[in-house]
Amino acid sequence: MLLPAKVLLHPAAKLVVFALCAWPFAWLAWNVFQAQAGNANILGANPAEFLIRATGDWTLRFICIVLAVTPLRVLTKTPPLARFRRMLGLFVYFYVVMHLLSYSWFDMGFDVADIAKDIAKRPFILVGFSAFVLLTPLAATSFNRAIKALGAKRWQALHKLVYVIAGLGILHFFWLRAGKNNFAEVSVYAAIIAVLLGWRVWQAIKKKRLSSPVGLRSQLSK
């Protein structure tokens, strides 16, 4: 077991997870404040690029964390981990919104026409924006009322879009790095997501085999 169930089920556990998830944003906001105050600028020579990159990195990291919840829950036999998945998913959306805002504000000055042209002109931005669009209905339906309204099966089918979004996120990052021919970080994220998605494929195949007549007979003979 990853952590004792009592710890994960404690009322304060969600507050701790929330604080940990919000810490990267708080750190970025503090450094922006310090830069505005004229103090040492940790944001570097190009603060806009730093913020766009940082918020994009945290979006990918949280996608990996969300995808890791189910494998960790199953492999460590820790069912209470599932109670944090919704919050983690909403933080994916929060950081992708911050990523989009950083680009729209610091890079494009909130010029809607220029943003639209840039999205259409540059494939890696189009892919990233597509991931944001697909994430929006997932965030909007992350609440109990939405689950009841859609029904469990349709809700689960909709939220499987996270697998497509993960792929688009990696492609967005790959194209961004292609110009500099630097794929080291892309490879790390791609490997993590491949393992997490591969585990799901393996589980689906295993479940299908067990549900087949041959699999059922094999289980009954044990």
pLDDT at 215: 57
Mean pLDDT of the chain: 91
State the pLDDT at residue 214: 55
Q: Output the pLDDT for position 33.
A: 87
pLDDT at 207: 87
Helices and strands: H and E segment counts in the chain: 11, 0
Cβ-contact 21, 88 below 8 angstroms: yes
Q: Which residues of the chain have pLDDT under 50?
A: 216, 220, 222
d(CA 176, CA 87): 28
Give residue 220's pLDDT: 42
- What's the Cα-to-Cα distance from 112 to each of 105, 106, 118, 119, 125, rounded to whole Å? 10, 13, 10, 10, 14
Return the CA Rg of the chain: 20
